[in-house]
Amino acid sequence: MTRILFSVHDDAPLDTLLAGLSELAPLPPFSAQARAFVTDFARRVFALPMLREHPELATLAHWFRPAAQEQLARRVETPGNEYLLARGLVFHLAPANVDVLFAYTWLMSVLAGNRNVARLSQKPSGQREALISILSAMRAEGVHGEVLQRSVLLTYPHDDAVTTLVSRNCQARIIWGGDSTVAKIRSLPLAPLALELAFPDRFGVAAIDAATVAAATDAELDQLAHRFINDVLWFGQQACSSPRTLYWVGSQNTIETALGRFWPKVRSLSHQVEDEPAALMARLTDAHLMAALSPGVHGDSALDSYPLTLGAGRADGELRALQSGHGLVVNVRLDSLAALAPQLDDRDQTLVQHGFTRAALTGLLAQLGNRALDRIVPFGRALDFHPVWDGTDLLDVLTRKITLPGM
């Protein structure tokens, strides 16, 4: 059964809501109304009582502050012979593993002037409910009506009829989900002129220059460990960009020294993120499965360690696919960063790195013979959102350019 989480007409059936949306013209991209709404939304997120327990909400609010909105607006500036319009109606199918991810593309789409329908997960989520409560409060206060009437948030069980109904009415469909989810939704009809953007299963990996860890001061090591924890342990390692494998680059002696300093520091700080019993069981199960199915995989720490680490002579996408996250990391030793290239495949999205020069990183990219890597970020920035995601500029999908006669 379809449940409307938010609209200006909560009690209306979905077909009526879609008809109402189709009668509303899109707003101009980065209009004053849209900017005022997003600014107020971000301000209210900052004021949520749960912010301390959920820093991802603070990150979301910070990402949409007025200065950041201005940076987004500059990305879509057009020359005199082009005119920018909103795409139209955008259908967002949000992921179940990262509660607030839908809000990034939805708020970007709002800024672009679009009407929006977002299908959210049915899994209970305090963060999601907090965001919806902000919208409900705005509606009750009678503010931002022009924007609120152009958004519908809903949830429903996997139902091809509902997904098809919305898809036939949209001008863009954005899918976040696993490979099977993406394949299923792609099989459903979409309006002929509509665009589709899919974000299927992807992995994050990390690479670290062992010499920088071996030579780091205690303060530097503490900061590095904090940043690594932010990348790996938040969201239970479920985000596609959260590293599952850590490649150590350097001589064997240097790597051993770095390992001996890095992991004890990480584990001494890991209490900052709660380790639930279900997560413990998941990583233990995965560790035994990986050891059984992948020759050369062996224990690198005690089984009750958090994070739990395994060692391997090689770790590619097939090994990463066996991991479900929850604080399980595979250590791999490499002589050079270039030796990482053969272990990456199309599913590897993000490289989180520390200690490498730009020349070394571009040298690695030049060695790639496949679709691997869309982002390279420093430690601590794996979960950062960016308008270019998986190599696609989202604003190009959320807007359209009209060519005009030359002046």
- Structure tokens belonging to residue 116: 């929006």
**pLDDT of 125 over the 90 cut:** no
Amino acid (1-letter code) at residue 232: V
- Residues 261 and 241: their CA atoms lie apart, in Å, by 25
From residue 301, alpha-carbon distances to 18, 216, 309 in Å are: 54, 23, 6
| Confidence band of 221 (pLDDT split at 50, 70, 90) | very high
- Residues 208 and 192: their CA atoms lie apart, in Å, by 46
Label residue 68 exposed, middle or buried (CB < 10 Å: 0-12, 13-18, 19+).
Answer: middle
Q: How many CB atoms lie within 10 A of CB 54?
A: 18
Fold of 3-201+390-403: Aldehyde Dehydrogenase; Chain A, domain 1 (3.40.605)
CATH 3.40.309.10 in the chain, residue ranges: 203-378
| Confidence band of 140 (pLDDT split at 50, 70, 90) | very high
**Total-model pTM:** 0.85
| Confidence band of 349 (pLDDT split at 50, 70, 90) | very high
| Confidence band of 64 (pLDDT split at 50, 70, 90) | very high
- Residues 73 and 82: their CA atoms lie apart, in Å, by 15
Residue in 269, 257, 105, 274 with CA at minimum distance from that of residue 176:
105
Fold of 203-378: Aldehyde Dehydrogenase; Chain A, domain 2 (3.40.309)
220's CB contacts (< 8 A; 6+ apart) are none
pLDDT at site 99: 66
**pLDDT of 98 over the 80 cut:** no
- Structure tokens belonging to residue 11: 């009690």
Average pLDDT (45-72) is 91
pLDDT at site 88: 97
CATH 3.40.605.10 in the chain, residue ranges: 3-201+390-403
Q: What percent of the chain has pLDDT over 70?
A: 99
Average pLDDT (54-83) is 91
Q: Could you give the 3-state DSSP secondary structure of residue 218?
A: helix
